[in-house]
Amino acid sequence: MTVLNQPDNRRKRTVSERLLREEWEGKRFYYQGYKAVLTQQKSSEEIMGSSVLQSLLVSLIMFYLREHLNRSTYWVVGGESGLHLAKRKNMANDIAVYRKADVPDLFSENYFSVAPILVGEVDIKIELPEGTNEMDFIIDKTQQLLDFGVETVFWVTTKMKKAVVARQNQPWQILNWSDDFLLIDGLFLNIEKLLQDEGVY
């Protein structure tokens, strides 16, 4: 009986590792809905994708950054780009802006290991640990990024229609979508206007 159980156990471990999105401070964070995958109620593809609005916002913000930032100075990357902060400390970022001079190997198969100057997140995509709420997670992950050296971190929440903005050595802000907030290099972002310009809002 033990022999028969071994393949299933290995398969479950393989599936759960694939559903791991981030790991830091001794905590492992899985995609929202990962338990439904483990019980074969859903496929991994069903839980790992973004909603229409999440995808649209990430794309629009990335296009906005690429259009307005100096392309000879910065890389704007997305697609849950991996960030390696330390051993067993890895994160996924919806949007990250790097100084080109800071990225030594563009052909590396590893995660980025240097701090981006700007990180943007649209909603929380992990299964929150028991006893943790969304703001706890936002604060914790943001502080980890700031401690690593990221200059500015911002979150866009689609349910509450708020933006959370944190900068090195400055008070954090909680803003409405209709508010302008500073990104980098004097560039401001207004979520509501960004959507209006696309005929969405």
pLDDT at 48: 72
Which phi and psi angles does 137 have, rounded to 5°?
Answer: -65, -45
Instruction: Dump strand ranges (E) for 20-88.
Output: 20-24, 27-30, 74-86
Q: What are 146-155's pLDDT values in tens digits? A: 999 999 999 9
Whether 140 and 133 have beta carbons less than 8 Å apart is answered as: no
pLDDT, greater one: 5 or 201: 201
Environment class of residue 82 by beta-carbon count within 10 Å: exposed (0-12), middle (13-18) or buried (19+)? middle
CATH of domain 50-197: 3.90.1570.10
Characterize the bridge pairing of strands 27-30 and 20-24.
antiparallel
Residues contacting residue 45 through CB under 8 Å, at least 6 positions apart: none
Q: What are 160-179's pLDDT values in tens digits? A: 999 999 999 999 999 999 99
Please report which confidence band the pLDDT of residue 68 belongs to, taking 50, 70 and 90 as the band edges: very high
Domain ranges across the chain: 2-47, 50-197
Predicted TM-score of the model (pTM): 0.86
